[in-house]
Amino acid sequence: MKTTTLFAALLATFAAMPAAAQGSFPNRAISMIVAFPPGGVADGTARPTAAAMEKVLKQPVNVTNRPGAAGAVGNSVVANAKPDGYTILMALSSISVIPAADELFNRKPAYSLDQLVPIALISADPTILVVHPSLPVKSLKELLALARSRPGQLSFSSSGIYGALHMPMEMFLHAAKLKMRHLPTAGGGPALIAVLGGHVELTAGGPAAITGHVKSGKLRTIVSWGGERHPAYPDVPTFKELGYKNVEYYIWAGLVAPRGVPDPVMKSLRDAVRMVVNDPDFKNMMAKLNSPIRYMDAPEFRKYWDGDAKRLAALVKVVGKVEAKK
Amino acid sequence: MAETFQNLMLGFSVALQPSILVYAVVGCLIGTLVGMMPGLGPLAGISLLLPATFGLNPIVAIVLLAGVYYGAMYGGSTTSILMRIPGEAASVMTCIDGYAMTQNGRGGPALAIAAIGSFVAGTAGVVGLMLLAPTLADWALRFGPPEYTALLLIGLFILAYMSGGSMLKTLAMAALGLMLGMIGIDVMTGYTRFSLGIVELGDGVGIVPVAVGLFGVSEILLTAGAVAAPEVQRPRLRDLVPSGEEFRRSAGPVARGSLLGFMIGIIPGSAHIISSFVSYGIERRISKHPERFGNGAIEGVAGPESANNAAATGAFVPMMALGIPTSPVTAVMIAAIMVHGILPGPMLIQTQPELFWGFVASMYVGNVVLLILNLPMVGVFVNILRIPYGYLYPCILCFCIVGTYSVSNSLVDVWILLIMGAIGYALRKFGYDLAPVALGLVLAPMLELSLRQSLTMSAGDYGIFLERPIATTMLGLGVVLLLFALKPLVFKSKDWRSEVGLEKQ
C-alpha cells in the first residue's frame, strides 16, 4: 500500500512537471549576472533588485558575479545565454562602450548590442567634476581660463581608458576644445585617490563616492554632468545650464536580457521590476547606497539606451586610439 | 593618549558584546578555512560573504568581514607548510622554507611559528592602526605613481636575494613571470595584448591560478611521478613545539616583517603579497647563512607570514582614516558599510566612533582568538600528513580546482591553473625555482602601469622621479641594492652562491 502511494505520488510529480515548465514564468531560480566584482555600482544595484524581485516572482533570484575585462566577460555571457528569461544582466552604461572600442581596435567583438534587449532602467547618477582644493578654481569659468592658460598641463584621472569616468571627461574636453593629460587607473577608487593625493588636478566622480571628501574639504565640486541639478548637490551647476547642451552623462544601471526571450516572459520580468521600484525595502536600500532610482520601462529605456550608445560610440571614435594621436 | 585609551574602552565595550564577539569568532573561523583552501583567498571569501552581511548591523558586518580577511592570512600558511600548496597568494614564499621544514620533520614548529608571527604582526598592526591611522593616512596619499614605481623597482631588485638557485635560472624565471604579466588589456591605451581572442584573458592572468598551479598542482604531479611513494610522516608530540633556537631565530624576522608589512600595507594599491616577497628577500639578504634558505630556514617562514598579516591590517589605515578603498578587499568592505547608509570619507572615525573603535577592539580580540584557534590545531593539521598520498592528493587537487573556479566563476582560470601545473612540473624537473615567476607576474602589470602613469604626469619627463623626495629616496635605496647584487658579478668575488656550489650548475 505504502509503495503504491509513493509510486502514485512520484507519477503525479512527473506528470505535473511539463505542465509547470510550459506554465507561468518563472518556475525555477533566475540568475542575475553582474559583470563586475562585488562592491561596485552594478553589484550594489543588483543585490537589492534581486531581493525585491524574489518577493514578486516567488522564485530565487541569484546574483552571480562574472567579472573580467571591464565587464566584457559578464556582458558576453548574457548576450550568448539561452533566451529563456532565466539569465538576465544588471548592465552598466559601459555596456555600450565596449563594442565601440572593440570596433576601433579591429578586435573580434565580445558581444554586440543587438544581442541584448532592455527590461528596465533602474538607476542613473550623473558624474560630478571635482578638483583638488589646491587648484585655484571655484567655477567652470575659472577652470576653463586656467586650462586655456596652461594648455596640456592639467591632468585628470579616470577609472581606465574608455571607462565610466573617462568618457564624461572626454565629452567635456571635446565640447570645450581643451587638451589635458589623461591618467588612467585601475578603477574608480584609484582614480579618486589620485586627486585626493594631489597627483592629478581633477577627475569625474560618482556622487556617492565623493560626498565624504567634499564635505571635509578634500575635494571641491565644480560642475555636474546631469540633465538637472543633483538633489544631493543643489549648488553645483550642470554643464547644460552653463551652455554645453550636449555634455550630459549618467552612469546608469539597468536590467537587460538576451534577444529572443518570449514576449510573455519579458512581460513578467518588466512587471516584476515595476513592482520592485515601488517596494519600500528596495527604496530604503537604494537611498542608503546613495543611488537614485530612475525607473524606465523597456520602450522608454530602449530609446534612452540607443541615444546614450550612439553618443558614446561617437565619442570613442573621436577619442580614437591613444597611440594614433601622437 | 588618555583619549585613545578612553576610545579603546568604548571599542571593547562594543566588541565584547556577545552578539558581536560571536561574529568576530565566526569571521576568524571562516577566514582560517578560506585561507587554507587552495585558490580561495580572502577576496573571494569576503565577496561570497558580502550579501549575507546586508541583514546585519554595520559594526557586525565589518567585524565579520575583517575577521575573514586577517583569518585568511593565518590559514594561508597551513597548506603551504604541510604540502607546498599556497592556501592563498600571499603564502607563496612560505611554501619554500615551510615545506622544507616539514620534510625535515619540523612541520609542527613551522606552523606554530607562523601562527605566533601572525599574531604578533596582527596585534602590532592594530596598535599602529589605532595610534597612527590619521597621520599615516595622509602620508599614504602622497604615494603617487612615481613613488609606486620606485617601490616596485625595489621589489624587482630583491629578486636577486629570493631564489636559492643559480642567478641565470632565477632571472629566466623572473622574465617568464614578467612576460605572463604582459597579457591582457593595456590600461593606458586599451589595446589587448596576447589574449588569443579569449575575452577572459583581457584582464590578464590572475595570480591565484598561477600560484596554485605552479606550486600546488606541480607538487601533486611530482609526488605522483616519484618512483617511490613518499613516506607518510608520523609526527610526535614533542616535535610540534618550536625549539629555543627556532624561537630565537624567528624573533628578528617577525619584528622586521611586522614593521615592513604594515608600511607596505598602508600604501594604496600595493598588495599584501608583495610584502611577503620583500620580507623573504630582506631576511635572506641580512642572514649570515643565506644558504640555509630554501632548505628549511625558520626565518623564511616567520618573516613573510608576519609581513602578510601586518599588511592586511595596514590596508585598513587608508580605509578607515580616509574612507577610500585601496585594494579590492577594502573596496568590498567599504561597500558592506555603505549598504547601511554609512558614507565612507575622512570623517568616518569622528562620525562613527563605535564603528571604528569597535572594529579596532574586535581585531585585538580576533587575533587572540586566531592564536588560540591555530596553536592547538597545529597538532591536528600536522596529522593530515598521516593520510596516505593516494587519498590526500586527489582531494587536494579537487580543492584547488573548486577554489580557483569560485574566485570569479571562470573556467578559463581553471585551465590556467592546470596549464601552469604542467609548466611548473616541467620546470621543477629541470631544477628551476618558481617563486620568481609569481613575483614577476605580480610586479609586471603594476610596474608598467605606474611607470607609464608617472610619465603621463610629467609629459614624458623622467625627471619626475628626481623631483619627489619619497620616490628619489626609494630609488636610491634600490640602486644600492642593485649594486650589492652586482658586486659578485663584477668583482668575481665569491659570495655564498659560489661557496655552496650553486653557480657551478
CB contact under 8 A, A105 and B190: yes
Answer for the pair B1, B42: CB distance below 8 angstroms, yes or no: no
The region that residue A163 occupies, defined by phi over 0 for left and psi between -120 and 50 for alpha, beta otherwise, is beta
Beta bridge partners of A204: A129
CB contact under 8 A, B50 and A194: no
Residues from chain B that touch A199, judged by Cβ atoms under 8 A, are 144-145, 457
For the segment B133-163, what is each residue's pLDDT rounded down to a tens digit? 878 877 888 888 899 889 888 888 877 676 6
* pLDDT of B385 above 90: no
* pLDDT of A22 above 60: no
Alpha carbon B380 to chain centroid, angstroms: 24
* pLDDT of B247 above 70: yes
Which residue is listed with cell 620533520?
Answer: B105
Q: Give the integer Cα–Cα distance in Å for B357 and B199.
A: 44
* pLDDT of A222 above 90: yes
Alpha carbon B492 to chain centroid, angstroms: 35
Q: Which helix (H) or strand (E) covers residue A203, if one does?
A: strand A202-205
For the segment B419-436, what is each residue's pLDDT rounded down to a tens digit? 999 999 999 999 888 888
| Distance (Å) from the alpha carbon of A7 to chain B's nearest alpha carbon | 37
Select, from the ranges A88-92, A182-186, B221-225, the one with the highest average predicted confidence (pLDDT). Answer: A88-92
pLDDT, residue A10, reads 47
Q: Which of A6-10, A29-33, A53-57, B330-334 has the lowest mean pLDDT?
A: A6-10
Residue B47 lies in a domain: yes
Q: Do domains A29-124+251-318 and A128-248 have the same CATH topology?
A: yes
Q: Give the integer Cα–Cα distance in Å for A123 and A252.
A: 6
Beta bridge partners of B492: none
* pLDDT of B495 above 60: no
Is residue A254 less than 8 Å (CB to CB) from chain B? no
Q: Give the integer Cα–Cα distance in Å for B457 and B96.
A: 40
Q: Which CATH architecture has domain A29-124+251-318?
A: 3-Layer(aba) Sandwich (3.40)
Residues from chain A that touch B328, judged by Cβ atoms under 8 A, are 37, 39
**What's the domain count of chain B?**
1
Mean pLDDT of B251-279: 87
Q: Give the integer Cα–Cα distance in Å for A318 and A174.
A: 8
Which residues of chain A from 204 to 243 reach within 8 Å of chain B, CB to CB?
Answer: 208, 211-213, 215-216, 218
For the segment B206-239, what is each residue's pLDDT rounded down to a tens digit? 888 898 899 889 988 988 887 776 666 666 667 7
> Which DSSP string corresponds to A109-155?
PS--GGGEEEEEEEEEEE-EEEE-TTSS--SHHHHHHHHHHSTTT-E
- Going by the DSSP 8-state scheme, the letter that residue A93 receives in this structure is G
| Distance (Å) from the alpha carbon of A146 to chain B's nearest alpha carbon | 17
pTM here is 0.83
Answer for the pair A241, A88: CB distance below 8 angstroms, yes or no: no
Residue B117 lies in a domain: yes
Which among B57, B341, B48 has a CA at the least distance from the CA of A285? B341
Higher pLDDT, B322 or B454: B454
pLDDT, residue B89, reads 81
Answer for the pair A291, A123: CB distance below 8 angstroms, yes or no: yes
For A128-248, give the CATH class: alpha beta
* pLDDT of B343 above 70: yes
- The domains of chain A are located at 29-124+251-318, 128-248
Higher pLDDT, B484 or B306: B306
Residues from chain A that touch B457, judged by Cβ atoms under 8 A, are 155, 181, 183, 199-200
Q: Which pLDDT band holds residue B76 (cuts at 50, 70, 90)? A: confident
Query: Three-state DSSP class for A51?
Result: helix
Q: Give the integer Cα–Cα distance in Å for B292 and B294.
A: 6
Q: How many helices (H) and strands (E) does chain B have?
A: 24, 2
CB contact under 8 A, B187 and A64: no
* pLDDT of B458 above 60: yes
Residue A7 C-alpha cell reads as: 509510486
| Distance (Å) from the alpha carbon of A83 to chain B's nearest alpha carbon | 21
* pLDDT of B280 above 70: yes
pLDDT, residue B408, reads 75
Mean pLDDT of A106-134: 92
* pLDDT of B352 above 80: yes
Q: What ipTM does the predicted assembly reach?
A: 0.81
- Going by the DSSP 8-state scheme, the letter that residue A238 receives in this structure is B
Residue A305 C-alpha cell reads as: 539606451
* pLDDT of B491 above 70: no
Residue B504 lies in a domain: no
* pLDDT of A2 above 80: no
CB contact under 8 A, A212 and B345: yes
pLDDT, residue A149, reads 93
- Going by the DSSP 8-state scheme, the letter that residue B212 receives in this structure is I
Mean pLDDT of B317-327: 81
CB contact under 8 A, A39 and B332: yes
Q: Which pLDDT band holds residue B290 (cuts at 50, 70, 90)? A: confident
Tell me the residue range of the domain where B234 lies: 2-499
Average pLDDT, chain B: 85
Residues from chain A that touch B142, judged by Cβ atoms under 8 A, are 197
Cβ-proximal residues to A92 (8 Å cutoff; 6+ apart), any chain: A35, A36, A41, A42, A71, A164, A251, A252, A253
Q: Which pLDDT band holds residue A1 (cuts at 50, 70, 90)? A: very low
Residue B505 lies in a domain: no
Residues from chain A that touch B455, judged by Cβ atoms under 8 A, are none
Residue B213 lies in a domain: yes
